Structure 1
Amino acid sequence: MKAYGFTRYGGAETEAFLDLPVPEPGPGELLVRVAASGVNPADWKVRAGLRRADLPLEPPVALGREVAGTVERLGAGMSGFAPGDEVFGGTVGSAGGWAEFARVPVSFAALRPSEVAVTDAAVLPVAAATAYDALVQLALPPAATLLVVGAGGGVGLAAVQLFRSRGVEVVGIASHGKHELLAGLGAAPLAPGAPVPGRVDAVLDLVGGDALRGAVANLDGNARVILSAADHAGVAALGGRPVERVRSGERLAAVARLVADGSLDPNVTEVRPFDEAGSALAVVEGGHARGKIVLRIP
């Protein structure tokens, strides 16, 4: 099958179109004929070797951590899905989604509602599902105030929408170019390094490092809960904890229902052909994506 990935750990020069065997689904897995796959910062981090501790891979490896497509066949002993089902979910190991076929764990797959476009479903397992996990974990009441560090990224934009739909006030730290978008979603935009006005009940960090430390320093210690999806060690040092990812089909189905009823816009701003995989990843790696980028797999 045709795939796009990397031949060794390193920079963009290690990326290439690959001819790989069609993967065989194991127990607990689906083989999915991929129609669309999301492009995420995790993809270049995997290629660069920054995720080797939690995702050790032996190149050549197909990139792509999330897909939408059609079930081709099931691993041994599987039930709940059937060949021909339209599904979306996360990928397994080296069988990434930037390929004609991908392995998807049954535990992190869901049927795609007909109201949800395949290109929208393809970007839900990583960014939107992370934001939903944070929503459930924080369980903020209406009228509480949440500070989102990195509100202009894929997870941030989903988080703004999800928390606002629950009546939570959101202050979003992002670059000036994202302020109009955030305001349109009902958040109060804030420039990095600016003082945070008023009381904040919780912080959701999606950047880590100096951005997280600076944001918390500007709170004067008034946040009760600090979560991070980007910097587990950094948030622990501040007395917070990481976002607990619940990679389940039930969570994916819940997120898809929110897209179907109009509560959540996945913010897909570009759908690119598969042969532009390299340039699509370069845009995300350079921090220039205005929304979610999706690859259409022929």
Structure 2
Amino acid sequence: MVKAFGYRTNGGPEVQEFLELDMPTPMPGELLVEVRSAGVNPVDWKIRQGLFGGASEGDLPAVLGSEVSGVVRGVGKDVDGFAENDEVFGSVAPGSGAFTEYTLVTANAAARKPPQVSFNDAATLPVAGATAYDGVTQLGLREGQTLLINGVGGGVGVAAAQIARDLGVNVIGTGSEDKRALVETLGATLVPSGDGVGERIRQIMPDGVDAIFDLAGGEALRAVADLVSDKTKLISAGDPSVGDLGGHMMERDRTSRVLEIVAQLVADGKLDPHVEDVRSLDEAADAVAAVEIGHARGKVVIAVS
């Protein structure tokens, strides 16, 4: 049996529990991975909550988590480029989860882990690192332009700030004051979020910014949307209402190509995922809570084995 952390019904933290599941079998296009580390993301608790639609009976129990690193222990049919014992990282296959000892990973959404990259760092790349890369590159900013990252203190924001900085783009980020030290190490300028955030940014950039990469959504998005005049440069990673403001949802690549690029950035020392909190699988509830409450600085990772 395989130990996992998940839920049997949608709801708040109270529905989370440890599960004992059968060893998964890789289907065509999938890898069986012995999990070393799993990244924790806001999308994990939102799925548990049912914010993207409630889980059907056939999908339960469900395992939390969506990105992992580990060692290949089985290869499904129609998979090229991977073999048993390969060290890999990637996104879990549909119906699978990350907070577990063994999981299934979609082969075309996985990549080999460079030896210079730790399992903990690699586990942050399929969701946070790749989302950051996709968002920054889609905006097509030139050297010397200014990007506002709305919600810079989380895993995606931390990665996006570094990727943009590497391109010669100036970065302003909104976030809580307690994340100032982290944000400033990224070469970014922190503007405290909350009431009056738009005016505080205008004090630094009277003419607004060249682009906005929104990672906060809701009222926080609406508070800054008018800071960019070219609405093609307003994108959000999670709030479809960005369309009502003239912007659009960012597009995800979700392929091995992007994973290989961001892993190389880590290997080259250009991208530090800033894994600030590592918990054991037994502490999975605490790891989810750190992200759900919003107190996490950088990335939270569950080290499974």
Which of the five TM-score ranges fits, normalised by the shorter chain? over 0.9
Number of equivalences? 296
CA distance in 2 between counterparts of 1:145 and 1:57 reads 47
Equivalences for 1:93-104 in 2 at 5 Å? 93-104=94-105
Match of 1:295 in 2: 302
- Indicate the SS of the match to 1:108: strand
How far did 1:93 drift? 2.5
- Indicate the SS of the match to 1:102: strand
Equivalences for 1:185-204 in 2 at 5 Å? 185-192=186-193, 193-194=196-197, 195=199, 196=201, 197-198=204-205, 199-204=208-213
Match of 1:169 in 2: 170
Match of 1:227 among 225, 228, 235: 235
Equivalences for 1:119-130 in 2 at 5 Å? 119-130=120-131
Match of 2:27 in 1: 26
- Indicate the SS of the match to 1:172: strand
Equivalences for 1:272-287 in 2 at 5 Å? 272-287=279-294
- Indicate the SS of the match to 1:107: strand
Does structure 1 conserve the Cα–Cα contact (< 8 Å) formed by 2:9 and 2:55?
Answer: no
The amino acid that maps onto 2:164 is F
- Indicate the SS of the match to 1:146: strand
Q: Which runs of 5+ in 1 are unaligned?
A: none
CA distance in 1 between counterparts of 2:42 and 2:249 reads 18
- CA offsets 1:213-245 (integer angstroms, 9 cap, x no match): 11124x27466610100212x111111111101
CA distance in 2 between counterparts of 1:76 and 1:123 reads 27
CA distance in 2 between counterparts of 1:247 and 1:55 reads 25
How far did 1:56 drift? 9.5
Question: Normalized against structure 2, the TM-score is what?
Answer: 0.93
- CA offsets 1:169-211 (integer angstroms, 9 cap, x no match): 1111111111222122111111223322323111110011111
- Identity among equivalent positions (%) equals 47
How far did 1:49 drift? 0.8
CA distance in 1 between counterparts of 2:120 and 2:20 reads 24
* Root mean square deviation, CA, Å: 1.7
- CA offsets 1:105-152 (integer angstroms, 9 cap, x no match): 111000000000011001111111100001221121100111111011
CA distance in 2 between counterparts of 1:182 and 1:144 reads 18
Q: Which runs of 5+ in 2 are unaligned?
A: none
Question: Normalized against structure 1, the TM-score is what?
Answer: 0.95
- Indicate the SS of the match to 2:223: helix
Greater displacement, 11-20 / 186-195: 186-195
